[in-house]
Amino acid sequence: MGMRQNIRNLVLALVFLSAMSSCEKDFEDINQNPYNPTETSMEALFNGLVSSLQLTWDGQFYVDNEVLYEITQLGALKAKSWQNTAKGANAIWDNYYSSLRNVRELERRFEAYQGDQEELTNVKAMLKIVLAYKTFFVTDLFGDIPFSQAGRGLDGADALRPAYDTQEQIYKSLLDELRWASDNIVTSQLEQTSVGKDFYSFGSFDPLFSSDMKMWQKFANSLLLRYAMRIVEVEPGLSDEIIGDLLNEAKPLIGLNEDVLMRPSAMGFTRLSSHWSFREHGNLRLGNTMWNLMAPIDPSPSGAGILDPRATLFFDTNNDGEWVPFPNYLQDGESLPVEGGIPYGGQRDSNYAIRGNDNYFSSFQYYLIRDENDIPEILMSASEVNFLKAEARLRGIGVPQDDFAAENDYSAAISGSILFWAREAQNASIWENPPAISQGESYIYAFDPSVSLSENNFDLDFIYRQAWISFFRQPWEAFSLWRRTRATPREGPEPEYFRLVYPADESFLNAANYQEAAQRIGGDQTSSKLWWMTE
């Protein structure tokens, strides 16, 4: 783990999961002192680890809302008022390394298990999958990070200053772990070990899938697909091998209605952080880049020209009930438009129409960010899987090049995204009069108006554009898509912003390893590129 966490070993040991419970109302009883083996079960440790997958409050405020939405142009900033990115980066860093203690403790428990190690096959696989998800998330924001030696502060003083693994080492290690998990998971509840024992199960302490091992296998395979595609330009042979194995062998992947979600009402927490981050930040608006795709033919303020039904699920009108996008990019000599209002203020709970008289531009959909119980945080969607399959088949990555199959995957991805958000809006109890979208309508609007299959102009840009839209509430994934492809929609020049800067105290608490890592990546600065970036 990073040095900042090791120095605070005893404090974190007492507060990490109990602190998490302050916003996860039903975790209190099971998250007591998760680092004391005499008091906490493996089930509770794993449950706490999964609960840590929730987005951090400051990460959403200072990284997602202030940085990533603007860089990806999924949204537009009316003002840069909160440029304390370090605070959000620290929250993400601390969350990861604090939860890594649970990982190492579970690994120690597994090693000391008194029964047959074969009994632990499924729970070992589950741990590898969650660790892979969390680690990929962090390394894709920072680059090289402490990993293989991290989280081992209880092993002695030598472990307090862990070296930084290269991102290449991290990726290849995690891909191997995911392949092991996928290949070894036992999906049948009736199957037993080679000596007739039941496989150890976390049961209902698994809040993601309730120990449905078929879903865990699908999650592992889908993560393999995501991250094998991410390194396709720097490791084409490895990408071909992994993606070919997944698609040619028809290995199970996340499908329609199998999206991997952190749903508050199902998992026992209240999603207070989303509304807080938008309400207190206040500066995000619908941008021109997105609006030009939502209403490409007639972008009039009335909204009559909206073709993509997700427009009303993702965004809101201004205080006059009009659709007015904010510029994502200003030409030389242009001034930032005047904009105010309180479109994310809690007053809209009782009077939805009131956004403030000086709210001239369209905001993000209030109910989408206001909901505390029903709207989920997305770990991985079925739509993303279909976009990845479409790209693999259109490019011939690991599979024969097949335009027709790619188009089918592309259509299914967009249709699935539209239906997903329509369903979420319909099922959110707070959402008044959500738009009704049927299966038929979603298919009609499945393709960009500019796509003409009869003219055979379907290409990668359509896939990247629509995948970008589908990542609307996953700006970190849109950030990775842009860095990998440089082909997502954009107004103006590309920014030289590719990663988050390491927490400041790494430079003196873990100085030698920090300096080595910073030098290796070309300097601890936002313009330093990640390993898998080629341009």
pLDDT tens digits along 336-383: 999 999 999 999 999 999 999 999 999 999 999 999 999 999 999 999
- The pLDDT of residue 56 is 98
- The pLDDT of residue 28 is 32
pLDDT tens digits along 58-99: 999 999 999 999 999 999 999 999 989 999 999 999 999 999
DSSP 8-state class, residue 437 = -
- The pLDDT of residue 435 is 86
Rounded to whole angstroms, how far apart are CA atoms 387 and 463?
Answer: 6
CB atoms within 10 A of CB 486: 13
pLDDT of 203 strictly over 70: yes
pLDDT of 40 strictly over 70: yes
pLDDT tens digits along 207-244: 999 999 999 999 999 999 999 999 999 999 999 999 99
User: Stretch 430-440: mean pLDDT, rounded?
Assistant: 85
pLDDT of 34 strictly over 70: no
With vertex at residue 103, the alpha carbon angle to CA 97 and CA 106, rounded to the nearest 5 degrees, is: 150
User: Stretch 27-35: mean pLDDT, rounded?
Assistant: 37
Rounded to whole angstroms, how far apart are CA atoms 277 and 499?
Answer: 21
Q: How far is CA 7 from CA 10, 52, 159, 526, in A?
A: 8, 21, 11, 26
Average pLDDT, the chain: 91
- The pLDDT of residue 189 is 87
Residue in the structure block whose two tokens are 């099971």: 30
Residue type at 154?
L
- The pLDDT of residue 534 is 87
Tokens of 383: 């739509």
Residue in the structure block whose two tokens are 């209605």: 257
pLDDT tens digits along 258-317: 999 999 999 999 999 999 999 999 999 999 999 999 999 899 999 999 999 999 999 999
Lowest mean pLDDT, pick from 26-35, 47-56, 200-209, 366-375 = 26-35
CA atoms within 13 A on the CB side of 424: 30
* Beta pairing, strands 76-77 & 145-146: unpaired
Helix, strand, coil percent values for the chain (each to nearest 5): 50, 5, 45
For the chain, first and last CA: distance in Å? 31
Structural domains for the chain: 1-211+503-535 (1.25.40)
